[in-house]
């Protein structure tokens, strides 16, 4: 190991040390403040110690964001004896992941503290897994990062031990996640058996050799795509998504729905483009089938949902279908960057959507059903507007960023001569617009229920950040060129390094 290797993995080392510190520190942090006799408890009171680990986590995430932003312009390098790669795409995606976790932590602090579930150590551990996964240059590194990201989330989902739905969701997530990881690992073992290497670049070179056993490679590819499909939550490997989204606490649902989607895109890119591009004829039809099924099943099933979190789960399934569509135009850096832009902006919108649900929740009541949003405009007009912006963005209605993201993917499909798929995507989006606009109708035209009238929870900083979140969704919809250019430049410079 040389100084160059240490520099390449320095942010991850800092994150690892901080995660170990938080694991130890959290043991001594009380989950709730002891009640004082004769004194009414304030739901906004922060237990002693929680404030310390919270601000320590915030400072850590801010450092990581600045560290990765400073590296976006660096050239692509491979460190740690070929196990770890630092390139423009990895640094951009890690910046977005850290930003998503930071926003999630701010949104969820009050929610988790009120319910005695504030555990930033698990959240930081999951982020460490995401960063390792995004920069994986070896099959072992990818798998290590994947499991390091998944295991803490299993624990987070089942954190409400006295809630049957939460425990059930955690068990389902763990069992199906282990099965999907087994698929992925089995596919990787087949790749290793054929190529004799775990290094992604070496596998890429070997797979291009016409003398290899194509049948074994095709079988291995089926298992790998199946594992990827589960991690993305696309049809027919989607059954865990609505159950986990609904059963987990809203703050944990946000942790699962946001940053891990960026890491899942990175895993998709590393395995299919970085490694298995010569097998394009085998994996492209699989992606077409997964994308079309996800668009149709996700949007149609979401119409019947009355639980807001479950509706957003089926929405996520459909949104991931769009991400897959962007990966179909091979050797087109515009298509790949459009897919990456879609994943990043979807995460931004997801943060706002679940952040709003947490702000409307209070101790003893979770805002989860669509009926909980009835008459929101009469109670809190500004937060109703935030909800409108988020629903419009998910539906792809201008001038929100969701429209620009969908338009970019559709243009890539048409340019890549996949016009029929573009038509299917447009029709599916029109179907999806129904249930998004239904939420807007409930917020603006229905009468509020008296039992749902309550003050907005969360700190002033969290409310301000949620407002800024909504303004970003609007601003990026009106001026998307800047972020699109960053994504395109990162994609081009990374592809040139192959």
Is the pLDDT at 453 greater than 80, yes or no? no
* pLDDT grade for 232, boundaries at 50, 70 and 90: confident
> How high does pLDDT run on average in the chain?
85
* pLDDT grade for 35, boundaries at 50, 70 and 90: very low
| Per-residue pLDDT tens over the stretch 338-357 | 899 999 999 999 999 999 99
Q: Return the SS3 of 91.
A: helix
Is the pLDDT at 33 greater than 50, yes or no? no
Is the pLDDT at 37 greater than 50, yes or no? no
Cis peptide before 353 (omega within 30 of 0): no
Is the pLDDT at 48 greater than 70, yes or no? no
Mean pLDDT across the stretch 20-49? 55
DSSP letters for 192-214: HHHHS--BHHHHHHHHT-TTS-H
Element (H, E) at 82: none
| Per-residue pLDDT tens over the stretch 357-391 | 988 887 767 788 888 888 888 888 999 999 999 99
Is the pLDDT at 98 greater than 60, yes or no? yes
* pLDDT grade for 118, boundaries at 50, 70 and 90: confident
Residue 115 structure tokens: 């319910």
Q: Are 280 and 207 in contact, with CB atoms under 8 Å apart?
A: no
Helices (H), 135-213: 139-157, 164-195, 200-207
Residue 369 structure tokens: 């059903």
* pLDDT grade for 406, boundaries at 50, 70 and 90: very high
| Per-residue pLDDT tens over the stretch 266-314 | 999 898 888 888 888 888 899 999 999 999 999 999 999 889 999 999 9
Unique residue bearing structure tokens 């298995």: 276
* pLDDT grade for 43, boundaries at 50, 70 and 90: very low
* pLDDT grade for 125, boundaries at 50, 70 and 90: confident
Mean pLDDT across the stretch 20-27? 82
Helices (H), 31-87: 50-69
| Nearest Cα residue to 207 out of 288, 281, 290, 284 | 281
Query: What's the distance, CA 154 to chain centroid?
Result: 15
Residue 234 structure tokens: 């696309």
215 by Cβ neighbours in 10 Å (0-12 / 13-18 / 19+) ranks as exposed
pLDDT for 30:
58
Residue 472 structure tokens: 């970003």
| Residue 199 φ then ψ, to 5° | -75, 130
């Amino acid at each position: 190991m040389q100084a160059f290797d240490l520099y390449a993995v320095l942010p991850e080392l800092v994150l690892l040390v901080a995660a170990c510190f938080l694991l130890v520190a959290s043991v001594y942090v009380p989950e709730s403040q002891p009640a004082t006799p004769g004194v009414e408890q304030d739901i906004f009171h922060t237990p002693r110690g929680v404030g310390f680990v919270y601000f320590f986590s915030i400072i850590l995430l801010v450092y990581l964001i600045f560290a990765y932003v400073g590296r976006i312009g660096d050239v692509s390098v491979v460190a740690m004896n070929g196990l770890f790669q630092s390139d423009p795409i990895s640094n951009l995606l890690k910046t977005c992941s850290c930003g998503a976790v930071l926003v999630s932590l701010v949104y969820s602090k009050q929610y988790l503290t009120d319910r005695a579930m504030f555990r930033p150590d698990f959240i930081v551990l999951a982020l460490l897994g995401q960063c390792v996964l995004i920069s994986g240059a070896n099959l072992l590194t990818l798998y290590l990062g994947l499991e390091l990201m998944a295991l803490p989330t299993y624990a987070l989902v089942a954190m409400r031990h006295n809630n049957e739905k939460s425990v059930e969701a955690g068990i389902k997530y763990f069992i199906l996640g282990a099965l999907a990881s087994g698929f992925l690992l089995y596919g990787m073992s087949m790749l290793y058996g054929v190529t004799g290497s775990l290094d992604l670049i070496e596998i890429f070179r070997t797979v291009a050799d016409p003398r290899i056993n194509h049948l074994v490679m095709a079988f291995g590819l089926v298992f790998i795509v199946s594992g990827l499909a589960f991690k993305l939550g696309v049809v027919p490997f989607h059954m865990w998504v609505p159950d986990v989204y609904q059963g987990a606490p809203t703050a944990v649902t946000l942790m699962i729905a946001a940053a891990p989607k960026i890491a899942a895109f990175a895993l998709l890119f590393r395995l299919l483009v970085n490694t298995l591009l010569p097998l394009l004829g085998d994996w492209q039809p699989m992606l077409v089938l997964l994308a079309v099924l996800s668009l149709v099943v996700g949007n149609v099933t979401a119409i019947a949902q009355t639980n807001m979190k479950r509706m957003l789960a089926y929405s996520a399934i459909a949104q991931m279908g769009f991400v897959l569509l962007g990966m179909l135009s091979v050797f087109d850096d515009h298509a790949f960057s459009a897919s990456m832009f879609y994943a990043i902006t979807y995460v931004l919108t997801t943060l706002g959507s679940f952040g709003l649900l947490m702000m409307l929740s209070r101790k003893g009541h979770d805002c989860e059903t669509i009926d909980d949003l009835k008459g929101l405009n009469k109670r809190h007009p500004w937060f109703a507007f935030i909800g409108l912006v988020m629903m419009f963005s998910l539906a792809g209605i201008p001038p929100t960023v969701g429209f620009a993201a969908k338009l970019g993917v559709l243009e890539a499909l048409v340019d890549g001569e996949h016009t029929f798929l573009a038509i299917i995507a447009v029709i599916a989006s029109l179907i999806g617009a129904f249930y998004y606009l239904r939420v807007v109708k409930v917020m603006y035209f229905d009468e509020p229920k008296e039992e749902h009238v309550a003050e907005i929870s969360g700190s002033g900083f969290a409310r301000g950040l949620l407002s800024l979140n909504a303004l970003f969704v609007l601003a990026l919809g009106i001026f998307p060129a800047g972020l699109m250019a960053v994504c395109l430049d990162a994609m081009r410079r990374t592809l040139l390094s192959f």
